[in-house]
Amino acid sequence: MAPVTIWLGLFFLVPLLLILIFSFGRSGVYGGITLGFNPGNYLKVFDPLYLEIVGRTFVIALTNTLLCLALGYPLAYFIVFKGHRWRNALILLVMVPFWTSLLVRAYSWVVILNGNGIANRTLQFLGITDEPVTLIFTPQAVTMGMVYSYLPFMVLPLYAALEKLDVSLKEAAQDLGASRWHTFWRVTFPLSMPGVIAGSILVFIPSAGEFVIPNLLGGSRTVLMGNLIQQQFLQARDWAFGSALSVMLAVLLLGAIMFYIRRIGTDKLEGV
């Protein structure tokens, strides 16, 4: 057991360490890296074009997290408290669509949202619009696509946290005359905080590295950190710069999380 765990721990840490090492290397013209100490890669990041991309990425990741929370919490709540004996099925049903290739689902969204797709036809049928509206390959489509991709990452931890709540606490609160709203905000929600935090982290972090959705649903008109890093490793063949960007992204995200956790209070993470 021990050697296996060590071995696997190794593979887990390797990407982190290698990228750190690469970020100080020098990229060959044709790709590959010569190792050494070359902090210049980090200096390259401080270019208005790239900083703009970093900023945009954060805004989008944050928006995505908030939207996922707004949509995911009620869903998790519904499954846990109103799902009764269908709870397990309901949570599995949340995940099932995600076992279909993202590519297939993204292209299906294009079909739904394009000029004479279902969405437009429904809008015209309901009389809301007269003509087809451009729905796909817009920033809004990207936002929708990101929420679509990351909602389960929010729902699962929330489900895990809410599920353990002691029902008797809620009943007690209500027996003591608390209204439903009151019970929710004063009892349920605070106790579910570890789930909220875990879900927020699981959405925020990977959102910042997203590169597929902006291309598939946004017509590549939005450049995010994920796209930039991908480009550096592939088209630009600048592994060192790509690594430096990744490290910067990691540092910024970790900083944001630590700040978030500290504000909420580490005790909430433990729920103690």
Partner 1 sequence: MGTQKRISRSAFLKVVGAGVVASSTLSTLSGCTVSTTAKSGDGGGAGNENALNFYNWSDYVNPKTTIPNFEKEYGVEVTQDFYSDNEALLAKLQAGGTGYDVIVPSDYMVSVMRKSDIVQKLDRSRIPNFDNVSADFKGLPFDPNNDYSMPYQWGTTGILYNKKELGEISSWDVLWDTEYKGEIAMMSDVRETMGAALKLLGYSLNSTDPEQLEEAKQLLLEQKPLLRGYFASFEVRPLVQNGDVLLGHVYSGDGFLAIAENKDLDYAIPEEGATRWVDNMAIPVGAEHVDNAYKFINYILGAKAGASLTNYTFYGSPNEAAEPMIKKEILDDPRIYPPPEVFERLEVIEDIGEATRKYERIFTEVKSA
Partner 2 sequence: MGESKGGPIYKGLGKIPDRALFLFAGLVYLFFYAPIFVMVFFSFNENRSTQVWGGFSLKWYGELLRDQSVLDAFKTSMIVGVTATAIATVIGTLTALALTRHRFRAKTFADSTIYAATVMPEIVVGVSLLVFFVAIQFALGITTIIIAHVAFTISFVTIVVRARLSGMDQSLEEAAQDLGANPVTTFLRVTLPLILPGVMAGALLAFTLSFDDFVITFFVAGVGSSTLPLKIYSMIKFGVSPVINALSTVVLVATLVLILGGSRILTRREKT
Asked if 99 interacts with partner 1 (CB under 8 A), we say no
Report yes or no: 183 and 170 within 8 Å, Cβ to Cβ.
yes
Task: Give the three-state DSSP class for 33.
Answer: strand
| Tokens at 46, concatenated | 């401080």
Secondary structure letter of residue 135 according to DSSP: -
Query: Considering beta carbons, is residue 118 or 169 the nearer one to partner 1?
Result: 118
Asked if 145 interacts with partner 1 (CB under 8 A), we say no
Asked if 219 interacts with partner 2 (CB under 8 A), we say no
Report yes or no: 70 and 196 within 8 Å, Cβ to Cβ.
no
Name the minimum Å distance from CB 74 to partner 2: 5
Asked if 197 interacts with partner 2 (CB under 8 A), we say yes
Alpha helices in 164-238 (DSSP H): 167-175, 180-183, 189-191, 193-208, 212-216, 225-233
205 makes contact, choosing from partner 2, partner 1, none, with CB < 5 to 8 Å by partner type, with: partner 2
Name the minimum Å distance from CB 197 to partner 1: 21
Stretch that binds partner 1, among 30-38, 85-93, 194-202, 253-261 (CB under 8 A): 30-38
Inter-CA distances, 187 with 68, 77, 165, 265, Å: 22, 13, 10, 17
Q: CA 83, CA 90: separation in Å to the nearest integer?
A: 7
Count of CB atoms within 10 A of residue 101's CB? 9
Residue in the block written with tokens 């003591």: 176
Stretch that binds partner 2, among 42-50, 51-59, 132-140, 165-173 (CB under 8 A): 165-173
Asked if 54 interacts with partner 1 (CB under 8 A), we say no
Binder of partner 1 out of 55, 97, 115, 255 (CB under 8 A) = 115
Report yes or no: 33 and 18 within 8 Å, Cβ to Cβ.
no
37 makes contact, choosing from partner 2, partner 1, none, with CB < 5 to 8 Å by partner type, with: none
Task: Give the three-state DSSP class for 27.
Answer: strand
Binder of partner 2 out of 58, 67, 194, 218 (CB under 8 A) = 194
73 makes contact, choosing from partner 2, partner 1, none, with CB < 5 to 8 Å by partner type, with: none
Name the minimum Å distance from CB 101 to partner 2: 5
The crossing angle, in degrees rounded to 10, of helices 193-208 and 239-264 is 160
Binder of partner 2 out of 29, 49, 99, 131 (CB under 8 A) = 99
Report yes or no: 138 and 218 within 8 Å, Cβ to Cβ.
yes
221 makes contact, choosing from partner 2, partner 1, none, with CB < 5 to 8 Å by partner type, with: partner 1
Binding site for partner 1 (CB under 8 A): 2, 5-10, 12-14, 17-18, 21-22, 25, 28-35, 49, 52-53, 110, 114-116, 134, 137, 215, 218-223, 228, 231, 233-238
